[in-house]
Amino acid sequence: MLPDEEIVIVDGDSTDGSKIYLQQLFEEGKIHQYISEPDKNQAHAWNKAMLMANGTIIKKIMDDDVFCYEAIRFCKNYMLQHPVVDVVISNDLSSVLNDHQNIQTLSRYPQFEKWKSGLSQSFTFSDVNMLIKRSTLAYIGLYSTDFVMMDWEYSLRISHLKAEIAYYTGYNSLSVGHPNTVTSLKNNELITSQGKKGAVFYEYRGDRADITLWSKIKIAVGKTLYRVKTAATVTGPSVSDVAAVYGYYYDYILKLNNSQQFNFFRSTL
């Protein structure tokens, strides 16, 4: 952690020992802000974290995904050098814990270019790789606690409001699918109905889907893993193997980012 960085942790009143561990880290000064209390849903928890943050730029970090902090800091510095930029997003990687060497590359750059050119009023992207300028929250708002696919709605809102978005063609995150992700238990009927509502609100015609391809992938992976877990047909990596798997992910994303020159593209010049 660098001197200009702040760690804010919101715990949903966990009962697995995390609360005691995090409280200790807080008392030792290893994290800057910490709260543990029940949440209504994910959006509620993330909104609390964003409101607690003091920094100029906010980066959401999930405990089950992998982040390239070198790339994140590169994006952060770009935002600080270009104060007009409200949001930075990047390409994304995805993998399944039980098949960790199979890593998929995901990009929303074509959708970004179409939106940038005025051919669409909004587009969708994952918040796993998103950085937000804190001051722009007054314009784009917080996550909607009414949407189960909160990043889907948030990305549509951000783009529909014509926030200044910069697209980084590198990779600052790798999304990891496993049986315990919240995505595993999404309700397809609810997602479909909310997808129709979002399409009307934000003039979203879709990119051959009511929700993003990435959202569909996450849901499919989550449900498949949940079925596997329930049927007990496949055994995932043991606890002792998880560190090695995540180490592989960290090395992969770092090597990928160092393998070539990546660029930023702004929504306006």
pLDDT tens by residue, the chain, 269 residues: 888 999 999 999 998 899 999 999 999 999 999 999 999 999 999 999 999 999 999 999 988 899 999 999 999 999 999 999 999 999 999 998 888 999 999 999 999 999 999 999 999 999 999 999 999 999 999 999 998 889 999 999 999 999 999 999 999 999 998 665 555 445 677 777 888 888 889 999 876 544 445 555 555 555 444 444 444 334 555 656 888 999 999 999 999 999 989 999 999 86
Could you say which DSSP state residue 178 is in?
-
Q: Does an H or E element contain 222, and which?
A: helix 213-231
User: What predicted TM-score, i.e. pTM, was given to this entire model?
Assistant: 0.86
Q: Give the separation between CA 62 and CA 159, rounded to whole angstroms.
A: 23
The residue to which tokens 């200009």 are assigned: 4
> Other C-beta atoms within 10 Å of 236: how many?
17
Per-residue model confidence (pLDDT) at position 66: 95
Per-residue model confidence (pLDDT) at position 229: 42
Pairing of strands 57-59, 33-36: unpaired
Per-residue model confidence (pLDDT) at position 231: 40
Token reading at 37: 């209390």
Per-residue model confidence (pLDDT) at position 109: 96
Closest-CA residue to 115 (of 233, 181, 204) = 204
Q: Does an H or E element contain 94, and which?
A: strand 87-96
Task: Report the DSSP beta bridge partners of residue 88.
Answer: 131, 166
Closest-CA residue to 223 (of 180, 176, 173) = 180
